[in-house]
Amino acid sequence: MNVIIHPAARADAQANLQRTVLSGVQFDSALQEALGDDSKFVAPAIDNGVLRLYGTNPGAKDGKRAKFAEISPGDIVAFNWNGAFRATARVVHTLESPAVAGLMHWGTFEVSGGAQQPFQLIYALTDVVALARPVRYDTMQTRLLGVGSGKFDNQSWNVITDARAAAMARELGTPTTPVRTAAPVPVEAPTAVDDADDTQTDIDRMARARREQARIRRHVVIGAQTECALCLRVYPSMFVWAAHIKPRSECSDAERNRVTDIGMAACTFGCDQLYEQGLLTVNASGLVIVADRGPATGAVADYLRQFVDTPRVCRAWDPANTHRVGFFAWHRTRAFTM
């Protein structure tokens, strides 16, 4: 989970925040049209016909874009002005759209060189909270002493992706458990442990896993619709997970960094879990096969039977890709036969 620091001190930012986040805007046909395919992904954020959106500009030399790409559903936006963090919200979906920014009448921001940029890097938000007790910057800085790189900059829009994020979320009173929504995160929620060093290690590990997941997802989930590599059904992308072909926990650092080879799209309706449990795998010819030890009757058996009745070649299978062939072989010989 990340925390996005979003300064909103300027008068226009204050007005925009009040109007399109704290009050929210009607999800009408014009907004739906401007959102296009993103409409489906913002749907969980619509409450009684009201959608809450806010955005930032790409920045000089598009400097914010890479950071923006790090944001995942479940991340927390911390709005700050006048010396304190004063409102929080949770990200449901991110999108880039000058058209939506125009429709929101957010205006533009002048970057160095004089260009006017719309606030086109947009998040759809839920769980918007105006903090009854704002958290002052100096309080937050004190709390972060010794956490990650410590200090943060309250003047600049930024995405905190390291160990500071969980500490900031706690201080802001927002739950740190990742929410499994549009781009779910394959890490366990932080568990209470006695040893502070262990907590630190867990948080670091989670942050690293989340960054890897986002990188892999960019290669396997492209656009609003994604085909599951195992059942070959096409789902809205929010129901498709970027799965590790070889379990992440078993991968070396070098293997984890093979982001173009290690991942495949797996639907959360069953294929992702069945593959993870080793009840489904991919054989040396690329066929999706079912483990003999799977149940013979019941809902899981019904699901697995489709692969027997209608054999299919895994979409992520590529005999020319030796890395991928190796990852599938690991799964077939280790996870599948357990």
Output the six-digit token pair for 228: 């599951």
Closer Cβ to Zn ion, 60 or 222, answer by number = 222
Separation CA 251–CA 247 (nearest Å): 7
Q: At what angle do helices 164-172 and 196-220 cross, to 10 degrees?
A: 100
Which contacts qualify for 190-194: CB closer than 8 Å, 24 or more apart? 190/166
Closest distance of CB 332 from Zn ion, Å: 18
Nearest to Zn ion of 108, 225 (CB atom): 225
In angstroms, give the least distance from the CB of 227 to Zn ion: 9
Q: Are β-strands 158-160 and 121-136 bridged in parallel, bridged antiparallel, or unpaired?
A: unpaired
The span from the CA of 298 to the CA of 257, in Å, is 39
Q: Nearer to Zn ion by C-beta: 100 or 267?
A: 267
Using CA atoms, how far apart are residues 188 and 199, in angstroms rounded to an integer?
A: 13
Nearer to Zn ion, 109 or 239 (CB): 239
> In whole angstroms, how close is the CB of 233 to Zn ion at the nearest point?
6
CB closer to Zn ion out of 104 and 271: 271
Distance CA(336)–CA(293), nearest Å, equals: 9
We find the least distance from the C-beta atom of residue 243 to Zn ion, in angstroms, to be 10
Q: Which is nearer to Zn ion, 139 or 268 (CB)?
A: 268
| Residue 224, CA distances (Å) to 56, 150, 185, 220, 264 in order | 22, 37, 18, 12, 16
Nearer to Zn ion, 230 or 242 (CB): 230
Nearer to Zn ion among residue 45 and residue 242 (C-beta): 242
Shortest gap between Cβ of 172 and Zn ion (angstroms)? 37
Least separation in angstroms between residue 8's CB and Zn ion is 41
Q: What angle do CA 59, 60, 66 make, to 5 degrees?
A: 55
Sequence-distant (6+) residues with CB within 8 A of 242 are 213, 216, 217, 219, 220, 221, 263, 264, 265
Least Å from the CB of residue 313 to Zn ion: 14
Binding site for Zn ion (CB under 5 A): 228, 230-231, 267, 271
CB of 228 to Zn ion, least distance (A): 3
The DSSP 8-state label assigned to residue 22 in this structure reads I
Q: Residue 118: phi, psi to the nearest 5?
A: -70, 160
